[in-house]
């Protein structure tokens, strides 16, 4: 992330395609194709916070969320958390029960 974001200049507009099936299925079961070994909650949060810190976010889409496969809305809630971080909300502001 540091290397990729180091290449972002004042003329760059970032688009994030938040493909939630990149996350480990232990934290994101509600996706079409699960892949073991994906990022943890904190790793994904850090990525979103690093992008937010650039101030260059221009657009976002969220894909691969499958409510029919989700467990008690766990994946959807996680996606909302990640989006909040992407828009600048710090994890230090959160009251987490994770």
- Using DSSP's 3-state secondary structure scheme, residue 70 falls into coil
Render pLDDT for 4-50 as a digit per residue (tens, 0 to 9).
999 999 999 999 999 999 999 999 999 989 889 999 999 999 999 99
Q: Is 70 exceeded by the pLDDT of residue 94?
A: no
- Kindly state whether residue 98 falls inside one of the protein's structural domains: no
Count the domains in the chain.
Answer: 1
Domain of residue 40 covers 19-91
- Asked whether residue 6 is domain-assigned, the answer is no
pLDDT of residue 93: 57
Q: Judge whether 7 lies within some domain.
A: no
| pLDDT per residue as tens digits for the range 51-87 | 999 999 999 999 999 999 999 999 999 999 999 999 9
Q: What is the percent of the chain where pLDDT is above 90?
A: 86
Instruction: For residue 11, tell me if it sits in a domain.
Output: no
**Calpha distance 82→15 (Å, rounded):** 15
Q: Examine residue 37 and state whether it is found in any structural domain, yes or no.
A: yes
Indicate whether 14 belongs to any domain: no
User: 74, exposed or middle or buried, with CB in 10 Å at 0-12, 13-18, 19+?
Assistant: middle
4 is a domain residue: no
What is the spatial distance between Cα 94 and Cα 20, in angstroms, rounded to a whole number? 21
Say if 86 falls within a structural domain. yes
């Amino acid at each position: 992330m540091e290397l990729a974001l180091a290449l972002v200049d004042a003329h760059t507009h970032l688009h994030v395609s938040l493909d939630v099936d990149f996350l480990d299925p232990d934290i994101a079961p509600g996706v079409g194709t699960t892949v073991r070994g994906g990022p943890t909650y904190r790793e994904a949060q850090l990525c979103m916070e690093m992008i937010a810190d650039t101030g260059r976010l221009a657009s976002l889409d969220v894909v691969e969320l499958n409510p029919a496969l989700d467990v008690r809305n766990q994946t959807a809630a996680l996606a909302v958390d990640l989006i909040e971080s992407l828009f600048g909300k710090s994890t230090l502001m959160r009251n987490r029960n994770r």
